[in-house]
Structure 1
């Protein structure tokens, strides 16, 4: 009796682990590149232990052939990656806003390696990304993320095929939404840069002998930091609202 139950339970738990581990490895905040890979895998395994009991009834029986088994495992891994990437697309809005902010305030040349993006980016972008990750954890939005991971079994049942067409449309929507959100977050700096550079242009036109560049650049950086200090809290609150809305949609 036990010999017939254990393989079935082990297979069901493996399916849950494949989806949960794939999501945790790429999900914002929980799956950042700065988090060691072993910790992410371990957290995905522990999370699977918790999720398994609540979704066990919706899991299929163990297939007889190895091809069907490999197909189910590959499907769960692919589905977990796609779910996490949708959330990662929203996270790029902060990086887009930081990049625009850096260019408008004259800080684009100050770059460093961003572990979250895996490449070099403006220091302001790295700072805003780290702030967003910190606020996600502080405001307990990661609890909502875990609830969305559990609810994904009801939205995308294992017995059904992956809706690639739906995912393509969702990805297109969130790419546009992320870019729009990034520009909206950086809107105060776009307006500020337009007004400031227009003023510098008028000064240069009225006083050609005046060294506009040498005076204007330090003032531009100072005013950029001052404006950032004033609006950064509002920027992060707007981002958190949109980020939370994504997981509310996943919760159905």
Structure 2
């Protein structure tokens, strides 16, 4: 009976370590998957993680359980941040691109979307990012790192602390690399805005903004298509940089 209890304790702790990266991350490529699929994936990963442990975890007392649970959730949260922050950076960059291109003004022409603003370029960028996440095998690299963490920091060890300087470094670098994906498009649209400003000064009686809006949209689409060959490299660099910063979050 003790062996069964230790196995279940190891399995539960493994689930807690994988939980943030599979279920609790709001900005994640896995958010498109149904909940039942993610739960099944979590259970499978927890079982595989349990088999990697040389011996089952044996915890005695409530204090040991609380420390182990908090430690596993903290380690899982560090890996969850490694996929949430890059996606948040891409989402923010896409929102800035929508504002710069003027596609966010679509709510002025479609009153039905006043309470549900659609980000055209932001949504497209997130869909491309989701496809690249699996095509570049970044999900496999993430789960390999989680498997390695089971050997470096065994289940139930506890005593893990989040390093705020590591979090700040991951946050800043993720948003810097995220904006580098759309930076050529934003700079190109800035030049278009400069021309629009000059036209507005020359023809103050004309509503230049709405006249140039289709031109800005076409320019944004053209510039985004021109930068697509470089997106996979920048995207892989964005996530791999976040992966390499996970140990710094945990004081490693």
Q: 2:221 aligns with which of 212, 225, 230?
A: 225
User: Is it true that 1:134 corresponds to 2:158 in the alignment?
Assistant: no
Following superposition, the deviation at residue 177 of structure 1 comes to: 1.4
- State the SS of the aligned residue for 1:15: helix
The count of residues paired between Structure 1 and Structure 2 equals 238
Q: In structure 2, the residue corresponding to 1:62 is in which secondary structure?
A: coil
1:46 maps to what in 2? 44
Task: Give the CA RMSD over aligned residues.
Answer: 2.6
C-alpha distance after superposition, 1:81-125 (max 9, x if no partner): 3321232112212112211211111112347xxxxxxx8551211
| C-alpha deviation, 1:44, in angstroms | 0.7
- Whether 1:87 aligns to 2:83 is yes
Q: 2:70 touches 2:158 (CA, 8 Å); kept in 1?
A: no
Matched, 1:153 2:146: no
- Map 1:31-70 to 2 at 5 A: 31-32=30-31, 34-57=32-55, 60-63=57-60, 65-70=61-66
**Residue 102, structure 1, aligned to residue 102, structure 2:** no
| Partner of residue 182 from structure 2, selected from 186, 198, 206 | 186
Any conservation in 2 of the 1:110–1:123 contact (CA below 8 Å)? no
How far does residue 69 in structure 1 lie from its aligned partner after superposition?
2.3
Q: How far off its partner does 1:201 sit?
A: 2.5
State how far apart, in whole Å, the 2-side matches of 1:218 and 1:29 are.
32
The runs of 5 or more residues in structure 2 that have no matched partner are 108-115
TM-score, normalising length from structure 1?
A: 0.82
Runs of 4+ aligned residues of structure 1 deviating over 4 Å after TM superposition are: 27-30, 207-211, 248-252
2:170 aligned residue = 174
2:13 alignment counterpart? 15
Alignment of 1:112-131 (within 5 A): 122-131=119-128
Quick check: 37-46 or 203-212, which moved more?
203-212
Does the 8 Å contact 1:106/1:220 carry over to 2? Answer: yes
Runs of at least 5 residues in structure 1 that lack an aligned partner in the other structure: 112-118
The answer as to whether partners of 2:71 and 2:157 remain within 8 angstroms in 1 is: no
Q: 1:83 to 1:110 in 2, by over 3 A?
A: farther
CA distance in 2, matches of 1:231, 1:153: 39
CA contact (8 A) 1:86 1:171 kept: no
Matched-pair contact (CA < 8 Å) for 1:89–1:175: yes
- TM-score scaled by length of structure 2: 0.82
